[in-house]
Copies of this chain bind each other. A is one copy, B any other.
Amino acid sequence: MRLQLNFKSGKPPYRQIVDQVKAATAAGSLRAGEALPPIRTLAEQLRLNRNTVAKAYAELEHQGIIENAPGRGCFVRDGGQPLRKDARRALLAEPIDALIVQAHHVQIQGEELIDLIRERQRRLGEGPS
């Protein structure tokens, strides 16, 4: 589970954590019973205060996504069937549009943007499927 924060988006960090964990569980890439990273570990990775991460975890527990077992860690609860592919693709529509717009603003469009993305995929070690 690799979380990615965007400090310029305006969305508060604790909300970004909540939303990303929810997306991962909904898509099935985080399975029921799996453990989330300990609060202090995640706080270090994301360079956030522990209180902030704790708040995100508390919110996730409040929404029934995870279960907080004091002293043992946080675990994903069973959330039923993972989403179908269309639903998962729909989750990406908004962030993709945002990227296209931002690219347009620096006058990079169409295939040039696609090329750039492929380059970053290669660099992140994610070869074309």
The chain A residues found within 8 Å of chain B, CB to CB, are 2, 4, 6, 9-12, 15, 19-20, 22-24, 26-29, 49, 62, 71, 79, 81, 83, 88-89, 91-93, 95-114, 116-118, 120-121, 124, 126-129
Contacts and interface: CB of A to CB of B under 8 A. Distances in A.
Contact of A117 (B22, B114, B128): B114
B4 A97 contact: yes
A126 B4 CA distance: 31
Contacts of A108: 88-89, 92
Contacts of A81: 106-107
B95 A102 contact: yes
25 contacts: A2-B104, A4-B101, A10-B12, A19-B101, A20-B105, A23-B98, A49-B71, A62-B62, A79-B107, A92-B99, A92-B116, A95-B102, A97-B120, A100-B121, A100-B124, A101-B124, A109-B121, A109-B126, A110-B121, A110-B127, A113-B117, A113-B121, A114-B117, A114-B128, A117-B117
User: Chain A's interface: helix, strand, loop or mixed, by majority?
Assistant: helix
User: Which 4 residue pairs of A and B lie closest in terms of their CB atoms, listed nearest first?
Assistant: A110-B129, A26-B104, A10-B15, A27-B106
Given A15-B10, A96-B117, A117-B96, A129 B101 contact: no
